[in-house]
Structure 1
Amino acid sequence: MTVPPATPDGPVVIHLSDDERDTGVLTPLHMFEAIDAFFVDGVVVLENAVEVKYIDALNERMIPDTEELKRNADKIHWNQGRAKGNVSQNPPLEKEYMYPQIYANKPAAAVMANIFGPRPQIRYIRTNTLVGNTADRQAVHKDCSFDHLSHPFHMALNISLVDVSPENGSTELWLGTPRISEYDDTAPGIMGIRPERLEERRKVRPPCYPSIKRGSVVLRDIRTWHAGMPNHTDKTRIMLAFGYQAAWHGCTLRTPVPESLRETIGQLEEHNNTEFCVTYVPDDQFDNLYSAFNADFSSAIKPERGSVQWGAVPSWQKGY
């Protein structure tokens, strides 16, 4: 018997209609598919979730900031080191660029609310900016370096400001890993997932490198194993990285924002029924480009599990 060729793996891509994009009301089938994909794979892609005109305008605004950061490379946070070329850049927290379709995306919020419960909380507002002509890759890792829950509690919302492919650094995704991901996937002294765990998983479901159209929103369970890849082009690839948590999880991370955005943020919260967990800073004291990096997504709720305190963050992993 002839065995059919294996089909390329990749995340489920759901193409939204313009009406779904604008109202946030997904068809029953699309909502079913989105939630199922998130639980099975740890990742789902909502295509046509943002109008391209907003994507292009924000990209044009951010590229000059990236160039300034590159000139001051010692002052910024490089994800897994400068050689990887992956900058943790702040998007411009300016009223004219805080488009509701990006900062308060209705389709994404609808999916999150069905998974997390009401009023998901945005606690992390950064970007992963991959500069051009890089040759090194990240170690495979997950974005939670603490004793995390065995079910979804936090998802990364990623919006790439250009079309993404393996050529310009499509993220390596290990689909399905939240279902088997334990706290001890990582170990002291090891950057990322234990090598033996990687090889075990590779035999079951190897990683994929999806091509994703700009205007898409990618929702990823932060327990999903993944890695940043090299950008073989000479063009910078900016990917917004927002972190949303279930309100019940008890995270205390807050993002600093200028006081002048208080009204704008209130409008964004109302737009898609989410909560911005932010700290307002006087405008003259706010430094958007060089604000400190903080990605502690752990919970302040610490129930005892025998002799072990759940949720503790090892000192060697802080700032991972």
Structure 2
Amino acid sequence: MASMTLPRHSKEITSIRLTDSEICSRQINSHNLQRAIEALHQDGVVVVENAIPPSYLDELNTLMTPDAHTLYEKRSTHRNFGPETGNIQQEVPVQKAIDRYREQIPEAEDGEHQAQNPLSMVIANPFATAIIECMLGPKPQLRFLSANTAFRTKEAGRQPPHIDVAFDFPRVPFGFCVNVNLVETTATNGATELWPGTHTGTDVTVLMPDNDGVIRKELVEARRKLCPPVQPVLPKGSIIIRDFRLWHAGMPNRTDEPRVMLVTV
């Protein structure tokens, strides 16, 4: 595909705020479910703002931030798109998190669900699961769990627009990434840059040769003129679901606090 002609898309990402009833029942209502599905089909991304109790994220952040500092000082730690990005790969301490939740979070805050697996609200969120089931079919599988942690870096330390796959993937929805930032996230502390609508025209021909997942520069600039990227403001407790084919890029964290973002696929 020599060029990429895409329809114009909204410059604002759809953000859904759940009702008290939805939060209590852990079931997304039909109207919000429809909004989410429409957003994923049109823009390739949707935000659900209050999908996770903030206290859960506070506990996980308390666990993971010290680990992040330790990893950042090690030369062997994987740096996403090179050391200048300040973005490291970090594993999620699943069992430690489960134990900490059961110790620190009152049972009344989570009821019967906590006795099963208190981490399920974070890494197998019921609202994300319901939305993805409507896109892929029943019983979607979780195949990958990790975290991208952004440390302070210079403006030049951004990632190139890319996708996370480089094989000959289909031009239909085949996988989704669910991100959970452990703190409120804005452009200041490295909210991911997203390119709404790019999933609809993306296949392996948009990628640079011999450069896994990176989008060809001329296509990036052409798309920028049609529909520029956005860095959404994400309140603590938000989940962001994006189509695997959507262009995105890690951006500089300009604060002194590391920003941990969970990644599930």
Superposed pair shares fold, TM > 0.5: yes
Q: Structure 2: how far apart are the matches of 1:65 and 1:183?
A: 36
Is the aligned partner of 1:206 residue 2:228? yes
Picking from 135, 159, 169, the partner of 1:138 is: 159
Instruction: Decide whether the 8 Å contact of 1:78 with 1:86 is kept in 2.
Output: yes
1:102 partner SS: helix
Picking from 48, 51, 60, the partner of 1:49 is: 51
Which of structure 1's runs of 4+ aligned residues deviate more than 3 A? none
Picking from 27, 30, 40, the partner of 1:28 is: 30
1:86 is matched with which residue? 87
Q: Amino acid of the residue matched to residue 151 of structure 2? A: V
Q: Amino acid of the residue matched to residue 79 of structure 1? A: N
1:269 is matched with which residue? none
2:253 is matched with which residue? 231
Q: Amino acid of the residue matched to residue 189 of structure 2? A: N
Deviation digits for residues 77-124 of structure 1, max 9, x if unmatched?
Answer: 111111111111001121325622102211110001111111111011
Deviation digits for residues 170-206 of structure 1, max 9, x if unmatched?
Answer: 1111000001112111122446100111122112111
1:104 is matched with which residue? 124
Instruction: Decide whether the 8 Å contact of 2:207 with 2:215 is kept in 1.
Output: yes
Q: CA RMSD in A?
A: 1.5
Is the aligned partner of 1:177 residue 2:198? yes
Q: Structure 1: how far apart are the matches of 2:21 and 2:35?
A: 18
Q: Structure 2: how far apart are the matches of 1:165 and 1:85?
A: 17
Please report the TM-score for the alignment, with normalisation by the length of structure 1.
0.71
Instruction: Decide whether the 8 Å contact of 2:80 with 2:88 is kept in 1.
Output: yes
Q: Structure 1: how far apart are the matches of 2:25 and 2:135?
A: 19
Q: Amino acid of the residue matched to residue 129 of structure 2? A: A
Is the aligned partner of 1:116 residue 2:116? no
1:238 partner SS: strand
Q: Structure 1: how far apart are the matches of 2:199 and 2:210?
A: 22
Q: Structure 2: how far apart are the matches of 1:10 and 1:75?
A: 38
2:108 is matched with which residue? none
> What displacement does 1:22 show?
4.1
Instruction: Decide whether the 8 Å contact of 1:41 with 1:175 is kept in 2.
Output: yes
Listed as ranges, the gaps of 5+ residues in structure 1 are 1-7, 244-320
2:185 is matched with which residue? 164
Q: Kindly report which structure 2 residues correspond to 1:171-320, keeping only aligned pairs within 5 A, or say none.
A: 171-190=192-211, 192-243=214-265
1:37 is matched with which residue? 39
1:64 is matched with which residue? 66
Instruction: Decide whether the 8 Å contact of 2:85 with 2:153 is kept in 1.
Output: no
Picking from 15, 18, 43, the partner of 1:13 is: 15
2:148 is matched with which residue? 128
Against the structure 1 CA distance between its residues 162 and 134, is the aligned structure 2 distance closer, same or farther, given a 3 Å change threshold?
Answer: farther
* Greater Rg over alpha carbons, structure: 1
Please report the TM-score for the alignment, with normalisation by the length of structure 2.
0.85
Q: Structure 2: how far apart are the matches of 1:184 and 1:23?
A: 44
Instruction: Decide whether the 8 Å contact of 1:55 with 1:215 is kept in 2.
Output: yes
The percentage of counterpart residues that share the same residue type is 38
Q: Structure 1: how far apart are the matches of 2:23 and 2:93?
A: 23
1:281 is matched with which residue? none
1:152 is matched with which residue? 173
Q: Structure 2: how far apart are the matches of 1:227 and 1:12?
A: 19
Q: Structure 2: how far apart are the matches of 1:219 and 1:185?
A: 22
Q: Structure 2: how far apart are the matches of 1:225 and 1:139?
A: 10
Q: Structure 2: how far apart are the matches of 1:32 and 1:40?
A: 12
> What displacement does 1:130 show?
0.3
Instruction: Decide whether the 8 Å contact of 1:162 with 1:214 is kept in 2.
Output: yes
Q: Structure 1: how far apart are the matches of 2:21 and 2:154?
A: 39
